[in-house]
Amino acid sequence: MKSIWQWYTGMSFMVKMTGGFLIGILLGVVLGDYSSFLAPLGSLFLNLLKMIVIPLVVFSLMVAVNHSNPKELGRIGLKIFPFYLLSTGVAVVIGILLAKITNPGAGFSLPTEVVMDTPARPSFIDTLLGMVPSNIFSAFANGDILAVVFVSVVFGLAILFMRHSTDKKQQEMGEFLFKLLEAGNEVVSKVLSGILVYAPIGVLGITANTFGTQGFDTAIALGKFIGTSYLGVLVLVGVAFPIMMKLFGIKVIQFYKDIKEAAFTSFVTSSSIGTLPVTIKCAEKAGIGERVAKLTLPIGATINMNGTAIRFGVAVIFAAEIMGMTLSTPELATIVIIGTMAAVGTAGVPGAGLIGMSIVFTQAGLPIEIVALTAGINILVDMIFTFGNVVGDLVGAKIVDQSEKHKDAPVDAEESLVLNEA
Ligand code: ASP
């Protein structure tokens, strides 16, 4: 028994994850619908990841803020948000262009029996206001990551100001709280390491259940839609991101090697937020500065959805073909904007992209019944879109980090002066 444990823990994480994935596919194919008895193994893994996400975001953000200063926070924000918008816009365009070539909607007709509710479109102002929770505890309990980010930054800043205060008592209390945060950070990281030991078994459960219970007939009928989605993410990750990274002098292959564990975890969990603990771990491996990683990645996991944006591009052309419509260039340009906004509003959880798709269709005047056509194969495409989302988060963090390199000094005398005056 002891030697099995030693063998298991001694193996590299990636080998174990790939093993879990491959055995999962095999079991899924062999057992078919019966494989659903393995689903709890996957749910346990997802629950464990979700369990650690909030403490991880809270402690790591508060510590990161305390290793930083308000000027730097503002600067990082001003860099990462334009990246998110630009890369998401580019992703919608890639989806549209590829779908124009592959014609995924050819041969389909509008489903008549399905009735779907039109989802309400969250307004931009509501999204912004939603970041400021009226009740901290309900924000935490609901796992509302953007609100948790906001609270952590505000409280982290308060502690930072206390530590740099001229008042001795405030300074002492600030230092005490900072020590507590650092200790909390250590605890979270220990728990996370334990969860990752279990990860390959969880992956086996998820994969067996996905491959065993999915109807392959629908997958074949929607083959072009699925193929275009995978191709789109491949172009994004294999062409668009490398170009962006090269512009900043980043070694692309090495970077991808460093982040492979997060990329893989995102693929099997279909959840950017669930993957976040692994994403943050990989960022460290990829040499992304702690402050940039911990400040940007929780936000990225919530609002930066590059893969999902590809779905919107492909889906709009898919729907237009079914309806026999040809969209003009200005109409397509509007869809790029709508798609970008809808991607920002899409939550980093499994299946959220389907809701986003309904929003895009409603805005673009396309029948949302077509969304239902793709629902059956959603699990298969969700995996690759989430992969695109998480890789995008890490690419953004790496680019911002690269541009911060020459400024990577700790809070210096001049800046602490700014803090004291504030
Ligand atoms: N599942 C995706 C994610 O968590 C979101 C989506 O459904 O597109 O990143």
Q: How far is 253 from 240, CA to CA, in rounded Å?
A: 14
pLDDT of residue 251: 96
Q: Which of 314, 378, 385, 393 to mutate to test the pocket of ligand 1 (most atoms within 8 A of CB)?
A: 385
Q: What is the pLDDT of residue 215?
A: 65
Residue of 386, 387, 391, 393 with the most ligand 1 atoms within 8 Å of its CB, for mutation: 386
Tokens 């090697």 -> residue? 257
Q: What CATH code is carried by the domain that includes residue 236?
A: 1.10.3860.10
User: Which residue did the predictor score with more confidence, 287 or 144?
Assistant: 287
Ligand 1 neighbour 45 (Cβ under 6 A): no
Give the domain extent around 297.
Answer: 80-140+217-407
Mutate-to-test residue for ligand 1 from 46, 88, 270, highest number of ligand atoms within 8 A of CB = 270
Of 271, 247, 246, the closest CA to residue 256 belongs to 246
| Mean confidence (pLDDT) of the chain | 87
What's the total number of domains in the chain?
1
Q: Which tens digit of pLDDT belongs to each residue from 319-347?
A: 999 888 888 898 899 899 989 988 887 88
Contacts of 324 (CB under 8 A, 6+ apart): none
> What pLDDT is attached to residue 179?
96
Q: Does 152 map to a domain?
A: no
Q: Is the CB of 350 under 6 A from ligand 1?
A: yes
User: What's the mean pLDDT in 376-382?
Assistant: 87
| Among 53, 92, 272, residue to substitute to test ligand 1 (most atoms within 8 Å of Cβ) | 272
Is 270 a pocket residue for ligand 1 (Cβ < 6 Å)? yes
Closest CA to 192 of 279, 285, 263: 279
- Tokens 């194969």 sit on residue: 377
Verify whether ligand 1 is closer than 6 Å to residue 389 (CB atom): yes
Specify the pLDDT at position 420: 41
The dihedral sign for the CA sequence 404, 407, 410, 413: negative
Residue 119 has pLDDT above 60, yes or no: no
Pocket test for ligand 1, best of 271, 275, 302 (most atoms within 8 A of CB): 271
> CA–CA separation, 9 vs 25, rounded Å?
22
For the chain, what is the radius of gyration of the CA atoms? 22
Question: What digits encode the pLDDT tens for the residues 47-96?
Answer: 998 899 899 889 988 998 898 788 888 899 899 999 999 999 999 999 99
Please indicate, yes or no, if residue 356 is contained in any of the structural domains.
yes
Angle of the 352-364 helix axis to the 306-323 helix axis, nearest 10: 50
Residue 322 forms part of a structural domain:
yes
Q: Ligand 1 centroid to 353 CA: how many Å?
A: 6
For residue 203, being part of any structural domain is answered with: no
Residue 329 Cα, ligand 1 centroid: separation in angstroms? 28
In a 10 Å sphere around its CB, with 0-12 CB exposed, 13-18 middle and 19+ buried, how is residue 412 labelled?
Answer: exposed
**pTM for the full model?**
0.83
Question: What are the tokens at 267?
Answer: 């693929």
Q: Looking at the domain assignment, is residue 56 inside a domain? A: no
CA nearest ligand 1 atom 3, residue: 348
Side-chain half-sphere exposure of 59, counting CA atoms within 13 A: 18
State pLDDT tens for residues 242-292: 999 999 999 999 999 999 999 999 999 999 999 999 999 999 999 999 889
Confidence of residue 410 (pLDDT cuts 50, 70, 90): very low
Q: Tally the residues of the chain.
A: 422
234 in a structural domain: yes
The verdict on the CB of residue 348 being under 6 Å from ligand 1 is yes
Residue 337: Cβ within 10 Å count: 12
Query: Residue 111 pLDDT more than 80?
Result: no
155-191: per-residue pLDDT in tens? Answer: 999 999 999 999 999 999 999 999 999 999 899 989 9
Residue 344 lies in a domain: yes
Distance 386 CA to ligand 1 centre (A): 5
Distance 409 CA to ligand 1 centre (A): 35
CA of 419 to the centre of ligand 1 (A): 39
Coil, helix or strand for 18? helix
| Percentage of the chain modeled with pLDDT above 70 | 92
Selected residue with higher pLDDT from 230 and 322: 230
pLDDT at 117: 57
Q: Give the pLDDT mean for 401-418.
A: 57
Residue 372 in any domain: the answer is yes
Question: Distance, CA 227 to ligand 1 centroid (Å)?
Answer: 18
Q: How far is the CA of 175 from the centre of ligand 1 (A)?
A: 39
Distance of CA 187 to the CA centre of its chain: 24
More confident residue, 408 or 291: 291
- Ligand 1 centroid–CA 191 distance in Å is 25
Question: At 68, is the secondary structure helix, strand, or coil?
Answer: coil
